[in-house]
Amino acid sequence: MTMQESQTTHLQGVGRVPAVPAEELKPGDQLMYNYGSVYQIAKIEDVSPKFLKIYEMNTRTGELYERRAKKTTLMARVPEDRRSRLGVEAPATDYRAQVCSPQGLDWVTVGHGSTVDEATMGYQAEYFATSILRNHGLGGHHDTMEASITAMTEGATLTAADGHSFRILRPTQTTAPTLAETLAIRPEQLMNLTPTEIDRYNALLAGELSRLAAETERATDGVYRALLWQKTSERHGRGYRQVWPTSFDKAERTAREHLASGYTPDKTTRVREGLTAPGAYTKQLRAAVGLLDSLRMELRIVTDGPLAVLDDEFRRRGGWSRMYLCLSDGGHVHEGRSCPSIGPRTPLRWLPEVSGMEWREAYQRVIRDATAGTEAIMCTRCYPDAPTEWTERQTPETECPGSRTNAWDHMTEKERRLYSKRGICPECKKGVSVTSTYKFRKHDRPQ
């Protein structure tokens, strides 16, 4: 230990502690003052041959102060093994009120809690709202303080005239929300969530709505069958398809009339369908209609409840960017179902992890999470400014280069007229089926 390091200074409320001359200090060192307050040096400037200007940050509040000190003045430097942490330790599941000094040091957590009030006005965090914001011109009046806290809660970072910045970090979801939590979501729970966290709820609801829609479609078929109706064939393109004989509106109206009037088919029909027990037809029809009504009620509960709450929050914030991945073979990345290339039955998967991001940054993450075996590419209609390399699919090594290319010029007149079209791929010289838009279907290279 050198002579200078063995020197000491007396601090009120602390006692005598080791000290060093101010000229030996450097940025990053921590200094202790009377009553044990600790500051971390952010910057040191020479202001004269004998004096320094020290910019130091309060390790508890994150505020930056200036101090002039003579180079020979003894100052209590905190030993490395006794350094104070910056701010308080707070879990990511809490709201965290933070301060950043003008010198660009780390954000310092001043207060935290399960609610915004606890993080800014609680017992340990009261200094943030009542003193720090007021000291920097953001909370001198109660209304001003409330406005500042509200803005930070909604995601804003406030910067005072002296360069200090303030923010409130929202809790981070540590686990994915459950469907039960999503169905019970309330507006006040969404106000402090990020777009990614909100769209995780939307993704769950989209899956639930898809399930209910599929079950409702099966239930409509069940009503037709309960009426003992049969499908008929109708011309479709160059072939035929099986369809129900009337619209579903008429079928449902007929079913409800039968239930109201107690109608029963003739004995021959009932025997043919195995409905010989008394009331069997009515029981079967009532079950089919009841299932349909139940599913419709579930759909209304979702659309008028949690889905409406999520949509209201989306509109309240003025919206944010979203991306969806088409789950069809070689799916594209879209902005939404409004894209003209998407049909009503096209399967889409929400990508909530990139919600709110600028699309260029977001796509980098979409590529890594693309469906197995293919690389998701950007839809040129949704993203007309996307780079060419993002909108042109990379051909797998096992795929023939002739896949998805124009087949019209490689087909004979007879082949073009066939219902099941085929043509000779110019690359592999093999017969390959052709799509309705005259493109060779995807096929492998010859072995």
Determine whether 11 is exposed, middle or buried from the number of CB atoms within 10 Å of its CB (0-12, 13-18, 19+): middle
Tell me if residue 332 falls in helix, strand or coil: strand
Mean pLDDT, to the nearest integer, of 404-423?
Answer: 85
For residue 75, pLDDT beyond 90: yes
For residue 251, pLDDT beyond 50: yes
Sign of the torsion angle spanned by Cα atoms 247, 248, 253, 259: positive
Amino acid residing at 48? S
Sign of the torsion angle spanned by Cα atoms 164, 197, 321, 364: positive
The predicted pLDDT at position 129 comes to 75
pLDDT tens digit sequence for 81-117: 888 888 888 877 788 888 888 875 578 888 888 788 8
Judged by average pLDDT, the poorest of 143-147, 376-380, 390-394 is: 390-394
Mean pLDDT, to the nearest integer, of 175-194?
Answer: 85
| Distance from the Cα of residue 332 to its chain's centroid | 19
Q: Would you give the end-to-end CA distance of the chain in angstroms?
A: 78
The predicted pLDDT at position 373 comes to 44
Q: Give the pLDDT band (50/70/90) at residue 51.
A: very high
Distances (CA, A) of 165 to 99, 119, 133, 389: 6, 17, 10, 40
Domains of the chain: 8-82 (2.30.30.30), 95-169 (no CATH), 197-312 (no CATH), 321-391 (no CATH), 395-447 (no CATH)
Give dist(CA 224, CA 76) in Å, integer. Answer: 88
Mean pLDDT, to the nearest integer, of 62-76?
Answer: 91
Asked if 74 contacts 7 with a C-beta cutoff of 8 angstroms, the reply is yes
DSSP 75-104: EEEPPGGGPPPSS----TTSEEEEEE-TT-
The predicted pLDDT at position 3 comes to 42
User: Among residues 122, 324, 335, which one has the least CA distance to residue 210?
Assistant: 324
Mean pLDDT, to the nearest integer, of 282-310?
Answer: 95
Mean pLDDT for the chain? 85
User: Among residues 66, 63, 76, which one has the least CA distance to residue 45?
Assistant: 66
User: Among residues 373, 375, 386, 379, which one has the least CA distance to residue 323?
Assistant: 379
The predicted pLDDT at position 390 comes to 76
Compute how many other C-beta atoms are within 10 angstroms of the C-beta atom of residue 446: 10
For residue 363, pLDDT beyond 60: yes
Quickly list H helices, 335-426: 359-368, 388-391, 413-417
For residue 60, pLDDT beyond 50: yes
The predicted pLDDT at position 348 comes to 87
| Distance from the Cα of residue 195 to its chain's centroid | 5
Contacts 24+ apart (CB under 8 A), 38-42: 38/78, 38/84, 39/65, 40/84, 40/86, 40/105, 42/101, 42/103, 42/105
Asked if 373 contacts 362 with a C-beta cutoff of 8 angstroms, the reply is no
Report for 83-97, 175-189, 353-367: range of highest mean pLDDT: 175-189
Mean pLDDT, to the nearest integer, of 396-403?
Answer: 83
pLDDT tens digit sequence for 315-326: 998 889 899 888
For residue 40, pLDDT beyond 70: yes
pLDDT tens digit sequence for 195-242: 888 999 999 999 999 999 999 999 999 999 999 999 999 887 767 889
Q: In degrees rounded to 5, what are phi and psi of residue 409?
A: -75, -10
Rg (CA), the chain: 35
The predicted pLDDT at position 145 comes to 81
